[in-house]
Chain A
């Protein structure tokens, strides 16, 4: 039971990170119907920016008060990663708008290769370890059983991740539901041509969607960096595939679905590693994806597909 509880907490933390990345996929898919394959690498870019900014603040400028440092790192990482997201859309996807469907998928894969290799060349191929910055936590249960003493701990890091995710989710739901930008996005999602006719700047809306997705990916990048403490240029691929899996699982195009899918993928992965084998955790996540898609092709919260002739 204690083990289960601890795994549950770990799974929710990991799931929050996947969920944040998955939102980027789901928004882009919802609005232009393409898999933004480079989104995982935008996440990687975000975590590298966060690392560099963190080091500049702490070692070069000598700031020591951690909350302020992290807040500055978060804002800087979101801003600069957004610039990357915007550029990727402008260079690789906008020229192909209205072209046939496979073309942007190929440029997305190309962009993903470019980003990975760019970071590998400029930052080196070796992993970057960052010692844990936020230590300690709240002990929920303490006791001992046959196999010795145990504790179920909710670390401050995990609290920060879950709280940040919840706050950001609430913020984005409001943004989509209440603001003119959100309205424009929903309009573009339903019918791009009609939205354009009614005076919505479609190109700008799509750009902003990429910017928002990138900003959330940057948050996920910072969380990943703080939680695991190790990043390299290749982390984007697997995280990206799993986040996309999460988006599909939750029903692509739906924001709560992306979050739910992220949490489920995180839980599946953590429980599988905890109870069965660490090696096959990815197989478990992908198998779940296949099974869900076969029996529930529109995902958990997605709208069922309507075939038009």
Chain B
């Protein structure tokens, strides 16, 4: 770990210096000759095309397939050549129209003046209210305006809301306390399995009894897993949490007698509305005297996760104002200063782990009841990566940013399932679903390069002396991970 301290000089960690440095490097890396001339642009694009050819040769140009009597190689020179031409053309256009400008579009978007910052803050407040009201009436909006596909859309809204809640839960650990957790899905799994196993082994356990228990169990595991890693920091913490996530999954997969192994657990009961069952011939319709409609269950589930997410958000907002929340944020900024000021870093870290894990457990329990079936397959590392990506892309510590990132990323993934019109363009062999995760990964990279600090990068201080000032992104040294 010596490299972290000696390899990165102190000024490198401060964003102001870092940004200026990055800026100057960008200038310096441009050749001294006229970098914007057409010939240079073509040359650069040719290099990119050549590189694409090299990279694509063994993957696009050749394809290995299982054939009778061993493996067989087929060639696809047409596709390979097309890829080279596409990269060449794309790079050339970028060189001519985007990189060439003195003030690239991307920079103009990311630079903000104080006045704009204030305007954005006001807009953000309104956006929050509008989003809240929209989320509140969403199921009825969907049933009114999309009567044919309302079920599918509400289901998607439930999925997005689950990720919003997971994002907010992880935000406590990563965004507020600055502890990099790559195994958050473990707590999601613990919540889901707690409910599923309780419901399997004890008949009387329903969703509402299991929910707090799942949260408590997840929190307990948060403490158990958090305790040994307290001394670790930064990337070490990340890798150990990743390892814990994988351990939990492997145990769930192999403890066949208890968890059902890869077969998972099915027949998880639906939630009830104060004891009333929302289903065909259920007591809910009878009690309120409304006829049964399958959509009712989806609307009900949507409101459960909506309320759970709101509780997560509300708890986080209030916790930020409590001493413990302030201790988290202080810990994120500077652990040594924290210790010198007498903050008990052990307890602070453990509470962050436990509370973050608890909300993950709640979300997991909801996931189990929504699916009715769970298996270890739902809790792979990819889930952890997606949740972390949502938190970082949204802007660490920003509640609204996380919500927007969840809508964009999860909504985006699901949207790619429905791009059947692309098949008309690229022919019947083209399956857009295949490209879903590829595009998701590319989007992650591009958004991060465009806005390394996430969509909402400014901070609202939790304590103020006289007037409330927003802390700009360049003043924030966040996410150092210790």
Contacts and interface: CB of A to CB of B under 8 A. Distances in A.
Given A117-B437, A305-B2, A283 B247 contact: yes
A22 interface: no
A306 B247 contact: no
B442 to A, nearest CB: 6
Interface residues of B, number: 84
Interface stretch (A137-145, A150-158, A169-177, A244-252): A244-252
Nearest to B478: A100
Contacts of A31: 3, 7
Contacts of A55: 64, 71-73
A289 B336 CA distance: 26
B427 interface: no
Interface string A85-99: 001000110011111
A250 to B, nearest CB: 13
A146 interface: no
B240 A289 contact: yes
A48 B59 CA distance: 8
Interface residues of A, number: 89
Interface stretch (B139-147, B343-351, B353-361, B381-389): B381-389
A224 to B, nearest CB: 16
B373 interface: no
A52 B58 contact: yes
Listed residue (B10, B57, B64) with the most chain A CB atoms within 10 angstroms of its CB: B64
B461 interface: no
Interface stretch (A11-19, A62-70, A121-129, A159-167): A121-129
Interface string B169-213: 000001000001000000000000000000000000000000000
Given A49-B58, A110-B389, A290-B243, A306 B2 contact: yes
B480 A106 contact: no
A191 interface: yes
B255 to A, nearest CB: 9
B440 A113 contact: yes
Contacts of B12: 98, 192-193
Interface in A171-214: 188-194, 203
A116 B65 CA distance: 17
B229 A190 contact: no
Contact of B7 (A35, A131, A191): A191
Interface in B221-261: 228-229, 231-232, 234-236, 238-240, 242-244, 246-247, 250-251, 253-254
A273 interface: no
A200 B261 CA distance: 54
B5 A91 contact: no
B438 A126 contact: no
B121 interface: no
Contacts of B381: 237
Interface string B9-23: 111100100110110
Contacts of B102: none
A153 B8 CA distance: 48
Given A109-B388, A129-B66, A294 B247 contact: no
18 contacts: A30-B3, A32-B7, A91-B445, A98-B21, A101-B481, A103-B448, A109-B385, A122-B59, A124-B63, A126-B66, A189-B6, A193-B9, A283-B251, A290-B240, A290-B243, A297-B231, A306-B5, A308-B5
Interface of A: 29-35, 48-49, 51-53, 55-56, 59-60, 80, 83-84, 87, 91-92, 95-103, 105-107, 109-114, 116-124, 126, 128-131, 188-194, 203, 237, 241, 244-245, 248, 252-253, 279-280, 282-283, 286-287, 289-290, 293-294, 297-298, 302-309
